[in-house]
Structures are given as structure tokens and as C-alpha cells.
Amino acid sequence: MKEKVILAYSGGLDTTAIIPWLKENYDYDVVCCCIDVGQGNELDGLEERAKLSGATKLYIEHLTDEFVDEYVLPCVEANAVYENKYLLGTSMARPCIAKKLVEVARKEGATAICHGATGKGNDQVRFELGIKALAPDLKIIAPWRCTETWKMSSREEEIEYCHAHGIDLPFDASHSYSRDRNLWHISHEGLELEDPANAPDYDHLLVLGVTPEKAPDESETVSLSFEKGKPVALNGKKMKASDIIAELNTLGGKHGVGIVDIVENRVVGMKSRGVYETPGGTILLEAHQQLEELILDRDTLSCKKEIANRFANLVYEGKWFTPLREALQAFIESTQKYVTGEVKLKLYKGNIIKQGTTSPYSLYNESIASFTTGELYNHKDAEGFINLFGLSLKVRAMKFNELNEK
């Protein structure tokens, strides 16, 4: 029997061309595995396409709920955002996909896993760190790095290669944006975005929503309910988290929310410019942060902001299956014990405007915070506090005054 390789299969031109290439160069039986994490109609026609291209089998694994519950929500609870802008849509999906690829490889008795990520991108790092952490014995094949046997460098060449192997597929050589989509977001790279001096062609680019200029002139208010840091209801209706995100995508896209144009620092060292649409995720993160600011004490909130940045970096770098990520997540989960309540937000032309936050665990005390004197706060106490709090400043100023007088 031939050895088997598991191919992370999207049905696009790259992974379609990889199937005959694997058979030709490695003499493998190719088992395709497509992971559904909410990419919608991109899954249509995959089985026929995979078998037409020479695959012996195709798995389509529907993991949208697992993706949301086990990967997205921990990042929401962490408020994890890479370089202050990127909400980690692709980054969160890769460990979920890598884990399933390993499970299918074990089920099929495969000896290798193949992915179509390029040698310039982050995804090669994310896929391979996940596979190495879960199955260090499996061989990893990355065609774009196999420069002696992978000779294709354009869509035209890939289409020609497929035709030469008897594969007639509905792809053309016209260029389009390079996109990655799942339930959380869609990313766009390429074309005019490759030059940071160019403005994005939003009329041609956007998929999930519209620009703020094209959003309705009327605002819309939404409410989100959380229990222990997790979203449980939208506008008073109980829903599972994946359905909440899907609904928020529709609402946020309608009002021009969640469009980000960023030049980010890739793991491999280069800068990359892309546009991300994350309408639902942007709303969800804003609501979660507003609830936390009402509930968490000052020191915990401060520490958590530092952890959020480190957590985002780990996820971005593909280090999901690591002891540090587990340890940081354990801290984050401990902070979510009382993050329960309701957040109301107004959506208007790309803006998310606070409309009120309530929680049974709110640390906001009106009798202390108001300008009137309450029982728990004596204005005169502030004098002694300021004297001690500013003592080091006063001592330093006295010393320099003394030196200057000499």
C-alpha cells in the first residue's frame, strides 16, 4: 500500500494543483481535509473537485462551534488584539485546523501532512507549530518551499499544470485579492493594497459590509449579555456564541463597523499590508471590555491588559499548543468569574457608542463616585494620601533646590 498524506484542502487553485503534484513527486495517496470554520459557500463543490484532481478521499469537518468556543472566546475573554488593530481572525483558526488535520492523519494512518501556505507568510508557522506540538512524528510538506520540484509561481502556471494533468477546473488567471474567511472575519491582501501609499478600493474589496459613508443614516442599538465573560444573549435572546457572532456580523457590516487597514509585522520578519473586516468581533470585544471596566479592580484590569498583549502575540505566532498559552488562559479565566452583565451599544456609521452597562458585580459605587459627600469617602482624607503619594517628588525637588543654592 502507498503511504498517505493529509492535505489541508480549501478547494482553491493552490491546493487543487498540489494534489497531482503530491502524487507525482511523492507517490502518495492524497486524502484531502477541508475544515469548515464558517467560510460559507466556499465549501460548495469541493468533493467533486478533490476527486477530479486525484484525491482518494475528502473529509469535510464542520468545526464552527468548536472554533468559536475553544479558540475565539478565549481571545475575547483576553481582549487579545495584535498590534492594537488585528483581531486575530486567521491566527485563531489555524490551531483549530492543525488539530483536526492531526486527528484525521491518525485515523487514516497517514505519515505526512501537507499545507499550501507560502514561504513568506505566517500560516506556515502556525500550521507547523501546531502539528509539531501534537504529532512530532508526522512529516510536514510545504510545496511552496520545495523549490526544486514546485516550479509554479503564478496562477497561470498552476492552471497550465492542472490542464496538463487532465484537470479542467473553473479557475481563470485573473488576479484578485488574496482572502481568508471564517466566521470571525475576512482578510484581504494583494492588488492595490501591496502599496501602502494607495487607498483601498473599498467598493471592490468589501465582502461583509459597507463603508461608513454608505451605512444607514439611522443608528441601531444592540444589547449583549455575558455570563462569566462569555456572550450568551443578543438583544435579550439567548443564543450560542457562534450564532451571536453571525448576527453581529450582519448588524456590524450594515453599519460599517469593524473595517481595519493595517501594516502589520509578520512572524517571518517582513511588514505586510492588509484590510480586515471583523464587524461582529469588533462589537463583541468592545462590549466585553466595557463590562470588564465596570467589574474588574484596578490592579487586575491593569495586569490583564499586559497579559492581553502577550496572549495576542502568542496566538499570532502560532504558539497555541504551549504551556505559556495554557497558563495565561488560566489567569484570564480566573478574572472572568464575575464578568456578568448587559452592555448596550449604538451602531452608527462605523462607530460603536456606549449606551449603558449594568452588572450585579459592578464595583462602581455612586455614593463614593458622586460629587456629594458619601459615608464611605471623606474629602479631607485625600490630603494625607496626596502628601504620602507625592512624597518622593517633593523630596527630589527639595534636594535639587538645595544643590542649586550652593
Burial call 357-378: b when 16+ CB within 10 Å, e when fewer: bebeeeeeeeeeeeeeeeeeee
Q: Of the listed 29, 91, 94, 181, which one is catalytic?
A: 94
List pLDDT tens digits, range 374-397: 677 888 889 999 999 999 999 999
pLDDT at 42: 74
Per-residue pLDDT at 379: 84
Profile the chain (406 residues) by mean pLDDT over runs of 10 residues: 94 92 95 94 82 93 97 98 97 98 98 96 97 98 96 90 86 79 96 97 96 98 98 98 98 98 97 98 98 97 98 98 98 98 98 98 82 73 94 95 88
137 is catalytic: no
pTM: 0.94
Could you please report the per-residue DSSP string of 304-318? HHHHHHHHHHHHHTT
Return the axis-axis angle of helices 381-389 and 391-405, rounded to nearest 10°. Answer: 50
Q: According to the model, what pLDDT value does residue 77 have?
A: 98
Chain centroid, CA 46 distance in Å: 25
Reply yes or no on whether 14 is catalytic: yes
Catalogue all structural domains in the chain, each as residue range(s) with its CATH number. Answer: 4-63+89-164 (3.40.50.620), 178-296+339-358 (3.90.1260.10), 366-405 (no CATH)
pLDDT at site 294: 97
Task: Give the ranges where 33-188 is alpha helix by DSSP (H).
Answer: 46-52, 64-67, 73-78, 89-108, 123-134, 155-164
Separation of alpha carbons 56 and 288, rounded Å: 45
Q: Say whether 126 is catalytic.
A: no
Q: Which of 10, 123, 181, 225 is catalytic?
A: 123
- Specify the pLDDT at position 154: 85
What local confidence, expressed as pLDDT, does residue 374 receive?
Answer: 64
Q: Residue with C-alpha cell 484590510?
A: 275
Query: Would residue 273 show up in a list of annotated catalytic residues for this protein?
Result: no
pLDDT the model gives residue 43: 79
What pLDDT does 175 receive?
67
CA angle, 31 as apex, 133 and 111 as ends, to 5°?
A: 45
Which of the following is catalytic: 69, 178, 219, 310? 178
Place of cell 464552527: 64
Amino acid at 156: E
pLDDT digits (tens, 9 = 90+) for 126-137: 999 999 999 999
What is the layout of strands, in order, in the sheet containing 220-227?
237-238, 230-234, 220-227, 341-348, 351-358
Task: Map grid coordinates 459613508 to a residue.
Answer: 213
